[in-house]
Every structure is written in C-alpha cells, then in structure tokens.
Structure 1
Amino acid sequence: MIVSDEARVLLTKMYKFILLLVIIKCLYCEESGPIVITKKGAIKGLQGKDGFIMFLGVPYALIDESNPFGAALPHPGFNETYEAFDDSIACPQTTRSGALLGTMQCLQLNIYVPNNANLSNKVPVMVYIHGGSFIRGSKAIENLSPKFLIRNDVIIVSINYRLGPYGFLCVSAPGYSNQGLKDQVLALTWVKDNIVAFGGDSSKITAIGAMTLDLQLLTTKNLVQRVIIQSGTALTTWVIGRRNDSIPVNLASKLGYSGNDVHGALHYLADKEPMDIIKAGVDTGISNAHPLTKPCVEIVGEDGYLTDFPVNLQPQVKGMDIMIGHTNKESLTKSTTRTTGAEELQQGFDNVYDEDNVRHFYTGDKVLSVETQNDVFDFATDFVFAYPAERTVNRYLEAHANKVYRYLFAYEGGRNRNKALGNFTAPGACHGDDLGYLFEMEIFKGGVPNEDDQKMIDVMTTMWTNFAKYGDPTPSLTDIITTQWEPTKPGSTRRPYLLLNQPITLEYRLFHRRMAFWELYYKLYKNEERGFNSK
C-alpha cells in the first residue's frame, strides 16, 4: 500500500500522541488497581507508582445545584463500578496566583491505601482537612502526596469542602451559613461508614487540621478517635466572621442584581456560573487576603450548626487523644512595617484595650523598623496562634481529654512550604512550614531532601503515624525516635512540649513570659472578649 506524505505525517503525529499517553500513564498511574465493595457501591482504584493504591475523586456528597449555598446531601451511591481515577476536581476558588479554579459538584475525597491493607489486616486512618483561609485549597495529590506518611502503614484521606461564598457565607437567613463545616461532617461520616472496605480500621480514625477541625470538636461527636491540630484553633482570634447580609447582595449586584434583599440575592446567584461568583468575590474585596467569608455563629434554627461563640462552648473530647502545635514564627511575612496594635486586638475583643502596653511589652521604646520586625512577628504569633493554643490545651484537659501532646515546629530547612512559596528570608518557621515534612508537594517535586530534611521527614511522619496507631507519638525509642514526648497533665505546671528543631528536644513552658503576659491580659479583659457570655 502506498501512503502519501500527508498521511505519513498524520500517522507519525498520532503515534507520538499515543506514546505520550503511555508515558504519562507509566509516570503517574501504572495500572488499574483493585475494586472495593463499599456501602455506597463498587469503587475501582489505581496502582500508584510510589507503592500504594489510589482512589481519586470519590464523591461523598452532592450539592443541590438549584440551591448551591444550602446544605449538601450524602451521595446516594453507585449503580455501576465507579472509576476513581480523576483528581482534577476542586471546589470553586482562586489560586495563590489569582487563577480561577473549580466546579460546582466538588464534594469528593481521595483515599490512599498501603498495599498491605485489607479486610484481614486493617490499618489506622488519617483524614487531612486542608487549610487556606476558608477561600482556597483542595484534596489534590500534587500538593498532598501521602508518600512519606503511607510507608508507615496507614490509610490517608484528603477531602474537598466548599469554600468562599459557597462554603462560608454568614447571613441572617437560616440554612446558608457554615456549609463548608457541614461538608466536612459529611466527609468524615462517609469515611467512618466506608473505610473498612479499603482495609481501614474505623475505630482508629485520626483527623488532621486546624481551625475548622477544632470547631468540629465543639459541635460533633464520635466521628474520629484522635485529632492533630496544626497551627490554629477555634479560639484563633480572626476565625469567627461577623454576620453580613451585604456579602451575597454585593456579589449579586456585581453580576447585575438590582435589589438589596438577601433572599433575592441568593436566589439570583443560584444559577450564575461559579467562576463568575468567585471572580465577583475578588473584585468586591470579599475574598481578599482577609476574607469576609468565614465560619460564624448561626441563628438557632432547624439547620443550626455553630450556635454560640467557641469561647462559650466546651470541646467534646472526653477520652480523646490530641496533638496540638504550631510554628515558632506563625506570622512571619516579608513586611517590615507591620505594627503591634489595634488591627489584631480588635479581632479578638469588642474594643481595643491597652494597645500601648501591648506594643511596649514586645518592642519597648524602639521605633518600628527592620530591627523590630522579629518582635512584631512574635506579637502576632502569640496573639493569633500561641496563646489560643495555650488556652485550648487547658480547655481540652478541663473537658477530660485522655492525653494532650503539644509541639513547637521551629526547624528551618529546605522544605519549609510557605517560606519557600513566599520567599521569606527572616529567621523562623512560618505558618504552614511543617506541612512540607509530612507531604510531598509540587513545589519540591523532583528534588532530593538533604540529610537534615530527610531526618525531619522521618521523625515527623513516624511520630504522626504512631499517634494514629497508638495514641502516643513516641511509644518506644528507636534509631529515628530518640526523644520521649510527654503529654501535658491536668494541673501540672511543667507544661511539656516537643521542640521540632535541630536537635529535637523536650522542653517545658513554651514562651513562658509571653504566655504569662496574655494570661494576665485576658483576665483583665475577659468580659470584653468578642462573643464571651459569662452566664
């Protein structure tokens, strides 16, 4: 058969395209994995190249597209085998670079299973709830690869939940607030009900997260047995938003709505493209660096979830094992002009009190400059993260948690995530820096960790998975674990915490002088704390 030059060129291009698809398959998902039979039906996974099985994009709930700001419903299940091969779905948002991303039906989770897990060899489960200031983030493997954790024989689950105006409206109309938190409950329920089919032990589920996970501990019981709170609690000063009916009205107005009624605005927005709504949120300043869409106190009603401020609620943690920690410079940024004062204090109190004394405690009589930036970082770290964590430890112990382990991450290495993303050069570990030692991430992909970074990866992933297995991060000392981590005991003044640095050491009374200052401050102004009810 004679083939024309044009046909030969076309065949060559087709061959190259097919070869490219084969290469991609070899790089990421070498072959189809097993089928598991869950309560929701059959789900087929993929055999990953790093020695574990992946079930990507498993739907756990459905959003009512006629009312996308309302409650989601549990997914009804599958009539045919669901091919869990696609990790492309995220909830509507903007990325760090400002790109629009996401789709409406986004309530999915990823499940990563070690090859040795099965019905006769069940392993503990760790569910990661991503952060992102309530406006961005997803379950995606590209930034949450479980390859470091899963080698310790645990199942890892990551979840999507609604964000921004879809997940965290705070309006007077009942049934629209805190949908992102309610999505998380649906995801955790799905895991509890179905993880056994994947070889998971449903009596050993550990949730990992920050503010939203701690909020779950105030309102939800019996979905997990252990929790790891990383960099943020329900008492973090800026977590709880203010009721604001103008948010949906302003979004709708940006898209052509002419009314000022919250119900009318929500109805108008219901059939608008999600990306148009997310862009309107950016254009109106609703979804900026300090977003207006946050968890909030709801009006008591049929669908009420969080009906009081966290300061008035007791954590539901009786008998639970807890790890809690943060970094040593949570609020480290590039800024050299940030001040200590009113903006931060007003997030936690009804008014600004003793601003001058607060500033003097941290910076003395020095003029704010590059030389004082470290002191300013300490102030913001203490007020927003460290002292709320200190209070939260006390609340856990008062609520009869079983064991509470505290840590401080101060290591400065090559995988400090947010420091690398922001190109921050000031000393210290900033918010989110610890995640680079728990998960493989796109920003570090292809690089080989140096010896010190690899040691931190080994230590942290071993401790975190030990905690999931035993409720104790250091059940025995080994070549990797050389320091015994003591829990905090009720009434003890020792207040132990593990310092994750070089070297790793057990220390006592974290930031003692600074924490004593805030303890006195809160005693003086307790009744002025935002939302506090003395009854």
Structure 2
Amino acid sequence: MRAMLGVLCVAAVFACVAGHGAHDKLHTDGFPAEEPLTVTPSGPVRGSWMRTRRGRPLQAYRGIPYAENPTGPLRFQPPKPIEQYEREVNATVEGPACPQPVIEPDYYVDEDCLRLNVYTPGKKKSSQPLPVLVYLHSGGFYSISGRSDVAGPRYLLDRDLVLVTLNYRLASLGFLSTGDKYAPGNNGFKDQVAALRWVRRNIGAFGGDPARVTLAGCSAGAFSVMLHMLSPMSEGLFHRAVSISGSPISQVAERSHQRHLAERQARLLGCPTDSSKAIIDCLRTVPWRDIGNSLDSLFDFGYDPVLVWTPIVEEDFGQERFIASSPLRAVQEGRMHAVPYIIGQTTGEFFWKAFNVLQNETMTATMDKEWDRIAPISFLLPKEQAKEKAGRLRDEFLGGRGLVNDTFTADGLGKLYGDSLIGFGAHRLANLMSRHSPHKVWYYEFAHVGNRSHYEDPDTKRPVVAAHHDDLIYLFSLPASFPDIAPSDSLDSLTVDRMTALMYNFAKNGDPNPTPGSRQPELAGLRWPAMTPRERQFLRLGDQLTVHSNMFEERFRVWDELYPIQY
C-alpha cells in the first residue's frame, strides 16, 4: 500500500460497554481481559483494545458493515443500508479495502467492503458526549481505504473525541456513469451518505455526539466533503467540515456523465459497448478482482490524469440524486447547507510528479513534443481552447522552453502539477466560500518539512518540501508507510500535537483556535483569523505557526485569467 500512497501522491454511551468495571481482571498489558462490547441501536458490536501514541487505552471497532454486500444485483446500485444486525458484529480485526490494485498479494481486499471503523477513548464513562470526527480517505476515487494501516487512530485519540473512518466503493465499481437510468453515477458518494446516516443512528452508543459531527477528508475525500455541503442527501448529517488538499471546484470541467470511461472499462474486460444495459449486464458478471486490477489501463500518460473519475451532476431518472446541480453555481447562489469550514493545501502538493516525467527520457520527449495533447491530460484542462491555454501555461511556468531534466524545468513543471491538481482548486474554493458561506472559513498552508514525507529525495532519502498527503502524517498513524512519531521534544512530535489540537478544537467548538484558559501549550499565542474577501489571511503550519495573506495568489493569477469566474 505504501507504493500506492506514493503514486497518489486520520466510549460507549459508555454505560452500554460491557465488562469494563473498576474491578475487572486485566491482561498483563493493562487492558481489561474482556474485549469491549458496545450495544448500538443497530445491534451489538464487539471490538478490541489499542493504545494511543501516549499510551492511552482506546477501544477499536474495525470493519463494521454499514451497508449490504454490493455484489451481484447490487453492483452498480446505490448502497443498501443495514438497519439491524442479525447477530453480534465481530469488529475485532480489520475489514477489507475496496477493490483496487495492490502490491502485497495477501493484502485484504474484497468487494464486500462497505465497512467503517470507530475508535473511542477507553475510559468507562463521560459526563458529556464527545465530538465526532468522520474521515473520508484520499486516493483519487480509485485507491486507498479507511483501514487503520492508512488512517490509524493513535494520534487523534490522545484527544477526547470519537474517530470514524470508512470505505466507499472505488473506480468503476463506485463511480461508473453511463448518463442514463442504468448508471446515473456517484454511488461512491452515496456510500459515504449511508455511512454518515449510520453514524447519526449509532454513534451515541460509542460516546459520540451525533449533533457535533465534523466531516473531514483529504484529496478525493476533500472533494467529497465540499460536495456533501451541496448534496440534498447529506443535509443535517454533519456540523463542521475540513477539506485537506482537494476541491471539486477548479478548472476541471463539470460533467453529467462519463460514458467514455464506462465504454473503456467494458472494452478492457471484453464486454460489449453497444448500449448501457449491455455494459452494465456484462460488467456485473466480471470478477471484482479483474475490475480492480484494470486500473492502470485507464490512465493515458504514465499515471495521468490523476483524476480519472469525477463527480457527476446527475440527471433525474427517478433516483435519489447526490449532486443535482452545478457545484459552482450552487455555491455562487448560496444554495448549500454550509457549516464552519477549514480548507488547506500543502506547500508543494504534487510537485514530485515532475520528477516522474523528467527522469524518464521517453516521457520527457513525449510531453515536450506533444505538449498540446499531453498538457490537457496531465493538468486536467477542459477541452475548450485547450491548445491555447496549454501554451499560455507553458510560457508562464516554463518560460516557453523545451523540457529538459534541470532544476528550472523541475520547479516549473512541479508547480504546474501542484496547482492544476490541488492548489488552484483549494484557492478557488477558499475564495468562494469566504464570500458565500454564512459561516467562518479558515485557510491554511501545511509547510512543515519533517523527518518523513510522501516524497523523499532518492539520493538524500530526505524530504524536500511538504508534499501532497504530508499533513496526514501528523494527524493519523500510518503504519503502512511510516513508523509512529514517538512523544518527544522533536519538532515532528510538536507538529502532531499542533495538528491534533487544531482538529480537536474545531470538532469540539467549531473554531480551531484555543479557547481562553485552555491548556494547550502547543498552540500558545495562536490567533488564526478567519478568511474574508478583503483580508485573505491564512495560517502557515511550518516550524512556527504564523499568519500570512494572499496564499500563492501571484502564481494563481494566470489560472484565474485562463478560467475566470464571478467570485
């Protein structure tokens, strides 16, 4: 899974927990001898014990099914929620990831993947229900999962909150769209809605407050978070939001279907393409592993475009629609159920994709000679005037020069990748929401360069700049990629404390700033102002926490000129 991350590139109503009295027998490791059992409105769920990085016991309930197995006739259909469990749910071990290519042959992947994990502090009772953080994972809508190896609880659960991570269907199994009644699209997002509805129904049994749910996501998950503020299906299911490095509003064209992808997927697997019914009927019979493993054949240039599947503005075929109108227009017109919102990006984002091109002579020559064809693919440019706009971007970022493997080209091409895939969208989203949301919007740049990164220089084996996903290193334990950051006086350890404190404050109070009198020395002196149209301030999370203005706006100017909108 670490390789895939590199390519793409966080207690019971405690009275309901059985067997945890003050005189329970203890294991030699200090945990109660009994596994924790929580009785939810949907039925009993048995979990296991874990520890946070500071040694605090936590209860882990992993692999809980929230919807029926989406196989057979339920493949390519909206999720069918589970309202009641027939028997006690064994949530003591990790559930499967959804179908995707994996490097390790024994990694647990299965189509029966609509599962979620709940982590809650291990203390016996709390006088007040705890804030809830629901995390939507990254992965371009075609990889990664909500499992604890890529979204572990060992950092955040040092705070008094309940963490939920979840899977949603990926790639064609989650986002196939033929633009008609056979596959209107967005089933992966509808999975997320089903999980949020499960949380609303059951989270109180784990000590969580269903009236204080923060929806957070990174990359594809960040796209998802914003769309939930626009979706008629999601209203009332969450009360704060965090989008880490991702926005569904950017230069990328809005679509009402992706039939070309459905046909391409069908051809790859030997299915007919003469009608939507033929595509769906045939693909329902294909083994899920074949669908998951076909991913690499759906890219056009190396691993570009990073965004293969996109959200669909669904036409009405009588189905419950996740997105019913243009996201951009909905925000501009204030047609959303907005909540307090944090939006962030890293300093470098996808800068490292430049090295994938420049260190491969064939790819460098192809991009250089066929810029008019490749640039719209790699930088997600709409078809309208793509040649002219790609030329302008080459002039602005590369000085109009040919591509060669030097530092100037690497810098310009890295910024092109970072801006087009993440940076410009985050800029556009923050500026739109600070104007049109009735709630406060906080904007940040993650700039800390620690001991580890999702991109490390192949010669020095050291990070060079904060890359896409790097803020997650300090919010979640990520054992698939990195060892835990031990409590110490290191800057990395302090960054964990800062990031989890900001997230906890926001989940608890709807404001990331420390409250007067709070004991948070890691945030001493912090005053992070909300962004406004006139005062476009942001927090830079580097070695220090500092406030600045107008993040990367000189660089984003060309993007705003090429793809103008009314802010």
Cα contact 2:144–2:150 (8 A) shared by 1: no
Change (3 A) 1:113 1:474: same
Give the 5 Å matches for 1:151-190.
151-174=158-181, 176=183, 177-190=185-198
Give the 5 Å matches for 1:86-235.
86-95=93-102, 102-116=109-123, 118=125, 120-174=127-181, 176=183, 177-209=185-217, 210-219=222-231, 220-235=234-249
Q: Equivalent of 1:384, from 395, 403, 421?
A: 421
**Structure 1 residue 399 and structure 2 residue 436: aligned?**
yes
Question: Following the alignment from structure 1 to structure 2, what is the Cα–Cα distance between the partners of residues 89 and 27?
Answer: 28
Tell me the TM-score normalised to structure 1 length: 0.84
Tell me the TM-score normalised to structure 2 length: 0.80
Change (3 A) 1:237 1:420: farther
Cα contact 2:65–2:115 (8 A) shared by 1: yes
Question: How far does residue 489 in structure 1 lie from its aligned partner after superposition?
Answer: 4.5
Change (3 A) 1:71 1:319: closer
Question: How far does residue 205 in structure 1 lie from its aligned partner after superposition?
Answer: 0.6
Identity %: 25
Question: How far does residue 252 in structure 1 lie from its aligned partner after superposition?
Answer: 4.1
Question: How far does residue 239 in structure 1 lie from its aligned partner after superposition?
Answer: 8.2
Cα contact 2:435–2:533 (8 A) shared by 1: no
**Structure 1 residue 305 and structure 2 residue 315: aligned?**
no
Question: Following the alignment from structure 2 to structure 1, what is the Cα–Cα distance between the partners of residues 188 and 107?
Answer: 19
Runs (5+) with no aligned partner, structure 1: 1-24, 528-533
Question: Following the alignment from structure 2 to structure 1, what is the Cα–Cα distance between the partners of residues 431 and 227?
Answer: 16
**Structure 1 residue 427 and structure 2 residue 464: aligned?**
yes
Cα contact 1:107–1:183 (8 A) shared by 2: yes
Question: How far does residue 294 in structure 1 lie from its aligned partner after superposition?
Answer: 3.2
**Structure 1 residue 54 and structure 2 residue 83: aligned?**
no
Question: Following the alignment from structure 2 to structure 1, what is the Cα–Cα distance between the partners of residues 380 and 483?
Answer: 41
What's the secondary structure of 2:444's corresponding residue?
Answer: strand
Q: CA RMSD in A?
A: 3.2
1:371 aligns with: 407
What's the secondary structure of 2:229's corresponding residue?
Answer: helix
What's the secondary structure of 1:211's corresponding residue?
Answer: helix
Give CA-to-partner distance per residue, 1:117-176, whole Å, 9 cap, x none: 746431100011001011111111112111111111111100010001110112123252
Question: How far does residue 214 in structure 1 lie from its aligned partner after superposition?
Answer: 1.5
Question: Following the alignment from structure 1 to structure 2, what is the Cα–Cα distance between the partners of residues 73 and 90?
Answer: 18
Cα contact 1:100–1:275 (8 A) shared by 2: no
Change (3 A) 1:424 1:445: closer
Runs (5+) with no aligned partner, structure 2: 1-26, 359-363
What's the secondary structure of 2:230's corresponding residue?
Answer: helix
Give CA-to-partner distance per residue, 1:406-451, whole Å, 9 cap, x none: 1001111123235489998673211111111111111223664771
Change (3 A) 1:99 1:507: farther
Question: Following the alignment from structure 2 to structure 1, what is the Cα–Cα distance between the partners of residues 485 and 463?
Answer: 23
Cα contact 1:173–1:263 (8 A) shared by 2: no
What's the secondary structure of 1:412's corresponding residue?
Answer: coil
2:524 aligns with: 482
Letter in 2 for 1:499: R
What's the secondary structure of 2:248's corresponding residue?
Answer: coil
Larger Rg: 1
Task: Tell which has more relative contact order, 1 or 2 (C-alpha 8 A, sep 6+).
Answer: 2
Q: Equivalent of 1:351, from 373, 385, 388?
A: 385
What's the secondary structure of 2:151's corresponding residue?
Answer: coil
Letter in 2 for 1:360: D
What's the secondary structure of 1:109's corresponding residue?
Answer: strand
Change (3 A) 1:29 1:107: farther
What's the secondary structure of 1:74's corresponding residue?
Answer: coil
Change (3 A) 1:357 1:83: closer
Question: Following the alignment from structure 1 to structure 2, what is the Cα–Cα distance between the partners of residues 28 and 422?
Answer: 44
Change (3 A) 1:121 1:433: same
Cα contact 2:376–2:383 (8 A) shared by 1: no
